[in-house]
């Protein structure tokens, strides 16, 4: 995962989505993420709404910095994060870069 943490998202206009083998290989590098209807997804659990919002706000800052924005479902004690890359019509390396960065946030907000 450290390799993914050190990478930055790149514009992928006109690129192609990852193949299933590459997706499986990358899923092995990010704990708890799974394939869900053409995207990667993970539920992050927290003790309360304050922690959940702290995570959401920090992830929003990272997403804006990387110019790669997830779909978020926010609840009192959890947030479901979902990444896919619309410009390639599927999953890309950018999704895994941001997934690794989302995982790294948890230590700071929980």
pLDDT by residue (tens digit) across 9-65?
A: 999 988 999 999 999 999 999 999 999 999 999 999 999 999 999 999 999 999 999
Count of domains forming the chain = 1
Find the CATH number of the domain harbouring 97. Answer: 3.30.1360.20
The Cα–Cα gap between 57 and 108 comes to 12
Strands 78-83 and 71-74: antiparallel
62-98 pLDDT, tens digit per residue, is 999 999 999 999 999 999 999 999 999 999 999 999 9
Give the pTM. Answer: 0.93
Residue 73 to residue 56: CA distance in whole angstroms: 10
Which range marks the domain in which residue 17 is found? 2-109
């Amino acid at each position: 995962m450290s390799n993914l943490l050190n990478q930055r998202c790149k514009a992928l206009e006109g690129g192609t989505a990852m193949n299933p083998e590459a997706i499986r290989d990358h899923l092995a590098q990010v704990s708890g993420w799974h394939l869900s209807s053409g995207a990667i997804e993970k539920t992050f659990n927290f003790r309360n709404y304050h922690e959940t919002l702290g995570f959401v706000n920090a992830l929003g800052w990272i997403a804006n910095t990387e110019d790669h924005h997830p779909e978020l479902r926010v609840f009192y004690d959890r947030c479901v994060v979902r990444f896919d890359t619309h410009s390639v019509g599927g999953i890309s390396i950018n999704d895994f870069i941001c997934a690794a960065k989302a995982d790294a946030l948890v230590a700071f907000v929980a």
